[in-house]
Structure 1
Amino acid sequence: MTVHPKHPEGLDGVVAAATALSHVDGERGELLIAGTSVGDLVPCTSFETITARLWSLASGEAISGETVRAKLGAARLAAHERLPSILAVTRGAEVASGFRAALAAMRSQQDSSDAAMLAGAMPVITAALVRQAAGKAPVAPDPQAGHAADLLHMLRGEPATTAEAAALDAYLVTASDHGMNASTFAGRVVASTGADLFMAVTASYCALTGPLHGGAPGPVLAMLDEIRTPDRIAPWIDAALARGDRLMGFGHRIYRVRDPRADVLRRAVATLKAGAVDLGFAAEVEAYARAALARAKPDRPLDTNVEFYTAIMLDALAIPRDAFTPVFATARVAGWVGHAIEQQRTGRLLRPASSYTGPVPV
């Protein structure tokens, strides 16, 4: 009997696929999305444009940002028309879990591999679930609006300001893809079986709901809520580190230096009016946390990650905390779809080996 040799826990360093979509260099703190540094994408690139670039690379067929914008607008309208039956089966569910059920219910044989229908449905579902939880009717989308602006409009029932739409658009672009993360890998595995895009993306979303992957923005706000005032920053953080607690919004599995997305979102947040969290107070928390982590763990680089400013941005945009995960999915679907298409083009089933640790017959 052959027993496979032991592999790295968590598959660290194991190459599972080749991709042209994005590249993460954790040692240098760099993220390339569709061949461009994330810092150079924002604010000159819209979500529709980066989606077009990702899908073009994945499929090998050129698609323009204008085409994606038109397709997403039409898809939002189509998704809105199907809301009555979908909301009926999600009534009473939490927004994050209702989103999964609604996404599955949105699938039909006709559009099961329609990338635009899938991506267009996400902001419609998110906004409708948030409003349903508040006892409000869904707001019809505007197919002429940008994806970010329309999401805010459907959430609130009134148009977003130019600054608000631009800030959310910056977030959607920044979060559109990020290498072979857990949700992307889950989607690629499902896509490799020949399952359709809705199935692959639903698997990706399920992986995203786990607290070790997509659940940090909410806890960042919970941490800031507990600290409350500037005079409590040092004692609160020092006590948390003494207990061995993790500081939400700091440290990353891949980045050994500062997460490049954090600075992109910090600049975007600076254009907004403060929400429940005062921006100056948040900056004080960040500065003290970075210094405290450097003292407490000098051999383990722990810097600000994307979740810290994601939390502050979504709060400033008055997006409810229970909608953070669906909003993240609304951005990451661009990459999930691209990876699923890219994987399917290989025609290869993902079937890794495992290291057997059970008993062996003698």
Structure 2
Amino acid sequence: AADLAAKMPTIVAAQARLQMGQAPVEPDPALSLAGNYYYMLTGKQPDATITRTIDTMLILYAEHETNASTFACRVVVGTESDFYSAVVAGIGAIKGPLHGGAIDEVMKMFLEIDQHERAAAYVDQALAAKRKISGFGHRVYRAGDARAPHLRTMAQRLAESTGDRKWFTIATAVEQRVREAKGIIANVDYYAAPVLYHLGFPLNLFTNVVASARISGWSAHIFEQYANNRLIRPRALYTGKRGRKLSAG
């Protein structure tokens, strides 16, 4: 598990560089896991703010009870399959847009809006068309996602340190309008999107970063399931039509 947790950032960073037509960067033994994540992605030495930002994000995403991907890991282990197959199941679940993949959709929305003056109109049109606005609400939390304020602070800090406030300004404008119109609040994925964008992670790898952080949480659940394992076998009730006739022939 520790080996995979160390390798995942290396794999994600190498994948990003190859997609950009650049050679992978070897990790620097003097850097932390978070620092190396940035270094292997950009080839630049991270400062203290960047290292702390990535480290905090990895911690915030590391574990979150029995969400869809974690449950998928436990279901696979329940069959006495191997550790890596369970992790693959977790990855398959977390990439969905209603789970970790939501972070991609948030940034796509910001890119589409492009200017903070257009945020309110975008939200109003989306709500009128009954389109989902990614990054808001939570299956469990009703009073707020405790992780979200930390990511909002990180996004603001990066915007101020880089002098590029565009995405943070758009994010706050959308957040305000959604709260006014629907009374729902941003979740962990919402401000994680501009944070990763500021750090230079390609949009199509945002969910990979979330998965690389969640490895530790998945591993803990996997080993817990192995230690006290039972086959996970939910029941299903038929709700279809009854008394249907088969056609002749």
Instruction: Normalising by structure 2, report the TM-score.
Output: 0.90
State the Cα deviation string for residues 133-167 of structure 1 (Å, max 9, x = none): 11211111123421111111111112111101100
Q: Which residue of 2 aligns with 1:175?
A: 61
CA contact (8 A) 2:97 2:105 kept: no
Alignment: residue pair count: 240
- Distance verdict in 2 for CA 1:268–1:308, change over 3 Å: same
Quick one: which amino acid aligns to residue 199 of structure 1? S
What is the distance in 2 between the residues matched to 1:128 and 1:236? 36
Query: Of the candidates 314, 332, 339, which is equivalent to residue 221 of structure 2?
Result: 339
Q: Which residue of 2 aligns with 1:328?
A: 210
Quick one: which amino acid aligns to residue 315 of structure 1? Y
- Distance verdict in 2 for CA 1:278–1:214, change over 3 Å: closer
State the Cα deviation string for residues 218-277 of structure 1 (Å, max 9, x = none): 221221222222332222211111111112211122221221111011122232235584
Task: Write 1 or 2 for the structure with the bigger share of helix.
Answer: 2
Query: Of the candidates 13, 19, 32, which is equivalent to residue 127 of structure 1?
Result: 13
- RMSD over aligned CA atoms reads 1.9
What is the distance in 2 between the residues matched to 1:228 and 1:121? 35
Q: Which residue of 2 aligns with 1:215?
A: 101
Quick one: which amino acid aligns to residue 325 of structure 1? T
Q: Which residue of 2 aligns with 1:66?
A: none
Alignment of 1:253 with 2:139, yes or no, is yes
Q: Secondary structure at the match of 1:270?
A: helix
Query: Of the candidates 270, 285, 300, which is equivalent to residue 174 of structure 2?
Result: 285
CA contact (8 A) 1:217 1:324 kept: yes
Query: Of the candidates 197, 201, 218, which is equivalent to residue 315 of structure 1?
Result: 197
Q: Which residue of 2 aligns with 1:146?
A: 32
State the Cα deviation string for residues 144-201 of structure 1 (Å, max 9, x = none): 4211111111111121111011001111000011111000000011112222221111
Q: Secondary structure at the match of 1:278?
A: helix
What is the distance in 2 between the residues matched to 1:320 and 1:263? 23
Q: Which residue of 2 aligns with 1:265?
A: 151
State the Cα deviation string for residues 86-136 of structure 1 (Å, max 9, x = none): xxxxxxxxxxxxxxxxxxxxxxxxxxxxx1121111011101111111121
Q: Which runs of 4+ in 1 moved over 6 A?
A: none
- Distance verdict in 2 for CA 1:354–1:325, change over 3 Å: same
Q: How does 1:1-40 map to 2 (within 5 A)?
A: none
What is the distance in 2 between the residues matched to 1:277 and 1:333? 32
Query: Of the candidates 114, 117, 120, which is equivalent to residue 234 of structure 1?
Result: 120
**Higher RCO by CA contacts (8 Å cutoff, separation 6 or greater):** 2
Q: Secondary structure at the match of 1:223?
A: helix
- Distance verdict in 2 for CA 1:277–1:194, change over 3 Å: farther
CA contact (8 A) 1:118 1:198 kept: no
Q: Which residue of 1 aligns with 2:247?
A: none
What is the distance in 2 between the residues matched to 1:239 and 1:290? 15
Identity of paired residues, percent? 41
